[in-house]
């Protein structure tokens, strides 16, 4: 089964989830037209992301893609450890 079939899309279109550009109304319009609408929340905090998800939820009835950014926690911890080890605290 193809992704188009699994998502029940009538149009083979996936909107790019670009933060700041892919707004909830745009995602809802794309989904409502048969494609897969997307929102990008990489440039907002958790409260802003929740508000965007809720806005999409209230104005769409079709599947919508949500792009989130997940940092590499191990890499971030290693960078922090390296930086703090370079500075001696008395």
Nearest partner of 25 among 61, 51, 47, 55, judged by Cα: 55
Residue 54 counted as domain residue: yes
Domain that holds residue 34: 3-85
8 A C-beta contact, residue 41 and residue 49:
yes
Give 24-81 pLDDT, tens digit per residue: 889 889 998 999 999 888 888 889 888 988 888 887 667 787 776 666 777 777 777 7
pLDDT score, position 72: 72
For the chain, the domain total comes to: 1
- The sign of the torsion formed by the CA atoms of 49, 68, 58, 28 equals positive
Residue 57 counted as domain residue: yes
pLDDT score, position 10: 93
């Amino acid at each position: 089964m193809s992704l188009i079939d699994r998502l029940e899309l009538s149009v083979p279109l996936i909107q790019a989830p670009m933060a700041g550009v892919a707004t909830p109304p745009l995602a809802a319009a794309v989904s409502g037209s048969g494609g897969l609408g997307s929102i990008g929340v990489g440039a907002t905090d958790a409260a802003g992301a929740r508000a965007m998800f809720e806005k999409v939820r209230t104005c769409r009835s079709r599947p919508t893609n949500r792009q989130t950014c997940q940092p590499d926690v191990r890499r971030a911890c290693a960078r922090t450890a390296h930086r703090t080890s370079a500075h001696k605290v008395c």
